Amino acid sequence: MIDWKDRKEFWVAGARIADPVTGRIRTGSVLIRKGLIEEITWQKQVKTDLPVLEAGGLLLAPGFIDIHTHLREPGFEDKETIETGTAAAAAGGYTAIVCMANTDPVIDDPTVVEHVLKRAADSGNCRVYVIAAVTKGLEGVDICEYHHLKEAGAVALSDDGKYITNSQVMRSALEYAGMQGLVIISHCEDPYLTNESQMNESYWSTKLGLKGAHAASEEIAVARDIRLAELTGSMLHIAHVSTAGAVDLIKKAKKRGVVVTAEATPHHLTLDESMLEDYDRNLKVNPPLRGKKDIAALLAALRDGTIDCIATDHAPHTAIDKQVEFDLAPPGMIGLETSFAQLNTELVGKGELELIDLIRLMTSRPADVLGLPGGKMAEGEPADLVLIDPNERWTPERENLRSKSFNSPLLGKELTGRVQGVFLEGKWFSSII
Ligand SMILES: [Zn+2]
């Protein structure tokens, strides 16, 4: 393929152009000039003296936006860095990610927000937005200074990885965050109930001899936070929803006007607890993989809008971190580079979701949840675009992934649909290495 990296003006011609806002996919051509989408035409071919990237058979969509990424830098650069994490994002079709606060030091101070944004500007391969902590050191005791964090560039607040167990702290946090117009993203698991659990509590946890976390551990946490969001009138976003009961609580809350949004991860939407039969540590995640009825409820919630968007919870861990007894392995799996292919294979390919709805759940909807720019296919917008071959079969392997870590249960498994690369402000980044 021609190297499009240094082209400043060119046409992408004959692509199937996905517009998540209108919900249409139509064949056409896009003129990219000076980093912007200058023109969209519904012609297959264009008469022009400018260079033309022939994209017949490929899908052109707004770049994906991930609102739940663990970049690990600063502090855990052996797992991932801002450079490798954003390269993984770009390779997976993302042109913007929002990184979580559980680094070392924790992103609970304006100087750390500024540090991450500076590092991302210097070495990042996509746009990076920062989530700051709700409480100092993620300890759930003292709330941070949200005004200063917002001034430094934080776009949301989260103690992700931990639930804020003290309800008064969460109430105050919501009140102050609301004054700043910041969303609080909550990791909903009651730690007293999930205590030392390894998977979902069910027939399977008994069969496999692993301590389980009951769905109630998530649902109790979701119920409290919804009630506090209702009390304070502040914005709440529920991270990685995984149970049918949590879906039900969010659905009812939305109906009575609570300002709550929610996300689901590719792994909770496509993988279930029975897959832990081989004790693959890469399937150990928080909250845990659940049962088939939960997955069915999550899919219904994606279709009816109860769950607003898809987010990866990309959580890199080194091979050494994971090569220990199951109960000692840290939870989490990577996801940025495989999310589209995994969801296209398992959901679109099996008739669970339309392709345009999947695109919307990965572009305009996450942008709406956090009030971020992007996710639109429109003239005058930055040329942040993803080019996809929805039919290409490929197999993720260590060698063709860019993340520093390889903790994915999908290695060696054939998937359908491959991101070819992204344009970031018109600059090409190829996914294929
Ligand atoms: Zn989490």
Asked whether residue 5 carries a pLDDT value surpassing 80, the answer given is no
As a whole number, mean pLDDT of residues 401-405 equals 97
Q: What is the CA radius of gyration of the chain?
A: 21
| Nearest in space to 246 (alpha carbons), one of 312, 302, 303, 297 | 297
Q: Which one is catalytic: 308, 313, 321, 384?
A: 313
Is the CB of residue 358 less than 8 Å from the CB of residue 343?
yes
Query: Does residue 10 have a pLDDT over 60?
Result: yes
Say what the pLDDT of residue 367 is.
98
pLDDT at 4: 61
Q: What average pLDDT does this structure show over 402-407? A: 97
Tokens of 31: 């003129």
Ligand 1 centroid – CA 30 distance (Å): 38
pTM over 0.95: yes
Q: What is the mean pLDDT of residues 391-401?
A: 97
Separation of CA 14 and ligand 1 centre (Å): 40
pLDDT (tens digit per residue) in 357-376: 999 999 999 999 999 999 99
- Ligand 1 centre and the CA of 34: distance in Å? 38
Return mean pLDDT, the chain: 97
Task: Using the predicted structure, report yes or no on whether residue 2 has a pLDDT greater than 60.
Answer: no
Taking the centre of ligand 1 as the mean of its atom positions, its distance from the CA of residue 345, in whole angstroms, is 25
pLDDT of residue 184: 98
Categorize the per-residue pLDDT at 405 as very low, low, confident or very high, splitting at 50, 70 and 90. very high
- 239 alpha carbon – ligand 1 mean position (Å): 6
Question: All domains of the chain, ordered by start, with CATH?
Answer: 9-60+381-430 (2.30.40.10), 64-370 (3.20.20.140)
Residue 336 alpha carbon to ligand 1 centre in Å: 15
Q: Is 3 a catalytic residue?
A: no
| pLDDT tens sequence across 222-281 | 999 999 999 999 999 999 999 999 999 999 999 999 999 999 999 999 999 999 999 999
- Provide the H-helix boundaries in 239-354: 244-255, 266-270, 292-304, 319-322, 339-343
CA of 266 to the centre of ligand 1 (A): 14
Residue 7: its pLDDT value, please? Answer: 76
CA angle (33 as vertex; 48, 21 as ends), nearest 5: 105
Concatenate the DSSP letters of all residues of 16-27 into one string. Answer: EEEETTTTEEEE
Amino acid present at 295: I
How many CB atoms are closer than 10 A to CB 312?
Answer: 30
The whole-number average pLDDT for the span 110-116 is 98
The DSSP code for 283 is G
pLDDT, residue 3, reads: 60
pLDDT for the residue numbered 8: 87
Contact assessment for residue 316 and residue 332, using Cβ atoms and an 8 Å cutoff: yes
Q: For 295-325, how does the pLDDT look when each residue is reduced to its tens digit (9 = 90+)?
A: 999 999 999 999 999 999 999 999 999 999 9
Helix (H) or strand (E) holding 189: none
40-94: pLDDT as tens digits? 999 999 999 999 999 999 999 999 999 999 999 999 999 999 999 999 999 999 9
**Alpha carbons 212 and 99: distance in angstroms, whole number:** 29
DSSP 3-state assignment of 5? coil
